[in-house]
Amino acid sequence: MCVEVLQKCESLLPLADELRVVSCCIDAIASKTCAEQIASSFSRLEYSSSGRLHMSKQAKCDGDWWIEDLSVLRIDMYRRVIAAMKCRGIRPESIGASLVSYADKELTKKSSFWNPSSCQTKVDSISTPHEKLVVETIVSLLPVEKLAVPINFLFGLLRSAVMLDCTIASRLDLERRIASQLDVATLDDVLIPSFRHAGDNTLFDVDTVHRILVNFCQKEDSEDDLDDASVFESDSPHSPSQTALVKVARLVDNYLAEIAPDANLKPSKFLVVAETLPAHARTDHDGLYRAIDIYLKAHTGLSDLDKKKLSKLIDFQKLSQEAGAHAAQNERLPLQSIVQVLYFEQLRLRNSLSSSYGEDDHKPAMHQSWRISSGALSAAMSPRDNYASLRRENRELKLELARLRMRLNDLEKDHVCMKRDMAKSGSRKFMSSFAEKVGKISLFRHSSSRESSTPSKNSHITDSKVIDKTCASTE
């Protein structure tokens, strides 16, 4: 009854307001809904199997009759009624349901841009001011509690706010609310069309999604900074924070793969979205590699520098066996990236072969495989644990490098010894040939002077001359 009176008073303003008819109707609606909601809450109380008193969950309460009834009011009257209900302590879920119902009536049925499938339709200039006021008013009435309204409704409001060019405060408020529950969003939600008339010809609004991701990362950092003792709990693999990061990372990779074929998407925007999340958010890089491969395939005119920047985003240690095999034969990747893929694939193959040996040979293989798959493990670690593991790997690599240097020194020493032996062997051959020549000369001399028992002075001089000539000829 009071709702109908309010609807009649819309044509009698400001007289009805001066007579306090409007304020009395608003107070009556707020008081009635509050009393009925309290009564319905008591009726929903029941004992569980353990003997504890709890409230049963229902899709819709009996005291929420006003959710659909208020949809007939004008936006200014509706705002005053909802503000009064908030002051009376109406549940945030009921307020959110009423806002969804009102937006469904005022936006989805009167305009064609609420649905993302029909986003390319032109906006009617006559209906735009009213719809813009509706969007901004609904945003201002949103409950502060998390999950009071579904996230697809928030994305619908944001899509409408972008198209209608609503105030920056309204859009930033929606982006902040979406970031608080981004882990439950879907790919269709984040595909916000671009409605800008100049400077940006991309199909999707990448800047808005980037700001949402930045808010999400800042929210994670602020939650971690609340309590130093809870840092490890919030970053542990099984904590809600880590689970949300993994979900958002998959969402971002799918989003990048969806916007990658856009010919007007610049590499800088692609890079800034891919680099927003922390490194430990991605447990594997298959989705990121797929998105980058699609972008390289659609943008064949990229420079070598841009290709290198895109390839640096991929941690090839976190690729699966199928993705690694595809990357090893991908001609669109830079040569340096292909070499890295082949190197890690060779180490992976070596470890798989080493695993077939005994336990003694299995231990170093497992240690090496742990090093190779450290990228995948680091995604499930906290940043501090990841840093500690990287320090251990760094020490092991330094030890291996020291062993290689020692081996190189040994090889150089062996090389020097081989040269020395070759020089000695060459001098021995010369001496042996020299001795043979001298022996032949001495034999000839003894055969010519066999009758005389002692050599003469002239023969001794002749032999010495022959020796000198032989040495000169050999030299």
pLDDT tens digits along 269-305: 999 999 999 988 999 999 999 999 999 999 999 999 9
Segment 360-387 shows an average pLDDT of 48
Position 360 pLDDT exceeds 50: no
pLDDT of 58 reads: 52
Please tell me which residue, 460 or 161, carries the higher pLDDT value: 161
Please tell me which residue, 128 or 300, carries the higher pLDDT value: 300
Is the full-model pTM beyond 0.85? no
- Report the DSSP beta bridge partners of residue 46: 54
pLDDT of 332 reads: 93
Segment 444-469 shows an average pLDDT of 47
Position 338 pLDDT exceeds 50: yes
Position 48 pLDDT exceeds 80: no
Exposure string over 349-383, b if 16+ CB within 10 A, otherwise e: eebeebeeeeeeeeeebeebbebbebbbbbbebbe
Position 145 pLDDT exceeds 50: yes
Q: Which of 81, 78, 90, 82 is nearest to 33 (CA)?
A: 90
Q: How confident is the model at residue 152 (pLDDT cuts 50, 70, 90)?
A: very high
In this structure, the strands spanning 53-55 and 45-47 are antiparallel
Say if residues 310 and 295 touch (Cβ distance below 8 Å). yes
Element containing residue 290 per DSSP (H, E): helix 286-298
3-state SS assignment for residue 199: coil
- In whole angstroms, give the CA distance from residue 138 to residue 96: 10
- In whole angstroms, give the CA distance from residue 373 to residue 169: 45
The residue type of 117 is S
Position 237 pLDDT exceeds 70: no
Please tell me which residue, 98 or 241, carries the higher pLDDT value: 98
DSSP sequence for 122-165? PPPTTTHHHHHHHHHHHHHH--SSTTSS-HHHHHHHHHHHHHHT
Segment 421-428 shows an average pLDDT of 72
Segment 40-61 shows an average pLDDT of 58
Q: How confident is the model at residue 187 (pLDDT cuts 50, 70, 90)?
A: very high
Using CB atoms within 10 A of its CB, is residue 208 exposed (0-12), middle (13-18) or buried (19+)? buried
Position 376 pLDDT exceeds 80: no
Position 441 pLDDT exceeds 60: no
Q: How confident is the model at residue 393 (pLDDT cuts 50, 70, 90)?
A: confident
Token pair belonging to 163? 């198209």
Q: Where are the domains of the chain?
A: 1-45+59-90, 406-474
Q: What is the mean pLDDT of the chain?
A: 77
Token pair belonging to 467? 């020796």
pLDDT of 422 reads: 80
- In whole angstroms, give the CA distance from residue 268 to residue 291: 15
pLDDT of 384 reads: 56
Q: How confident is the model at residue 378 (pLDDT cuts 50, 70, 90)?
A: very low
Q: How confident is the model at residue 67 (pLDDT cuts 50, 70, 90)?
A: confident
Exposure string over 43-82, b if 16+ CB within 10 A, otherwise e: eeeeeeeeeeeeeeeeeebebbebbebbbebebebbbbbb
pLDDT of 13 reads: 84
- Report the DSSP beta bridge partners of residue 55: 45
Exposure string over 83-105, b if 16+ CB within 10 A, otherwise e: ebbeeeebbbebbbbbbbbbbee
pLDDT of 450 reads: 45
pLDDT of 264 reads: 92
CA dihedral sign, ordered 406, 408, 409, 410: positive
The percent of residues in the chain predicted with pLDDT above 90, rounded, is 38
pLDDT of 229 reads: 41
pLDDT of 223 reads: 55
Position 373 pLDDT exceeds 60: no
Say if residues 158 and 174 touch (Cβ distance below 8 Å). yes
pLDDT of 250 reads: 96
Say if residues 253 and 239 touch (Cβ distance below 8 Å). no
Q: How confident is the model at residue 451 (pLDDT cuts 50, 70, 90)?
A: very low
CA angle 209, 215, 219 (to 5 degrees): 145
Q: Which of 141, 154, 140, 223 is nearest to 182 (CA)?
A: 154
pLDDT of 189 reads: 94
Position 82 pLDDT exceeds 70: yes
Please tell me which residue, 234 or 244, carries the higher pLDDT value: 244
Please tell me which residue, 358 or 320, carries the higher pLDDT value: 320
Say if residues 159 and 116 touch (Cβ distance below 8 Å). yes
Highest mean pLDDT among 4-13, 81-90, 96-105, 249-258: 249-258
Position 314 pLDDT exceeds 50: yes
Using CB atoms within 10 A of its CB, is residue 290 exposed (0-12), middle (13-18) or buried (19+)? middle
pLDDT of 319 reads: 92
CA angle 362, 366, 371 (to 5 degrees): 150
Segment 181-206 shows an average pLDDT of 85
Position 365 pLDDT exceeds 50: no
Residues in the chain: 475
Please, which residues have CB within 8 angstroms of residue 119's CB and are 6 or more apart in sequence? 113, 159, 163, 193, 195
- In whole angstroms, give the CA distance from residue 285 to residue 318: 5
Position 76 pLDDT exceeds 70: yes
Q: How confident is the model at residue 349 (pLDDT cuts 50, 70, 90)?
A: confident
pLDDT of 456 reads: 46
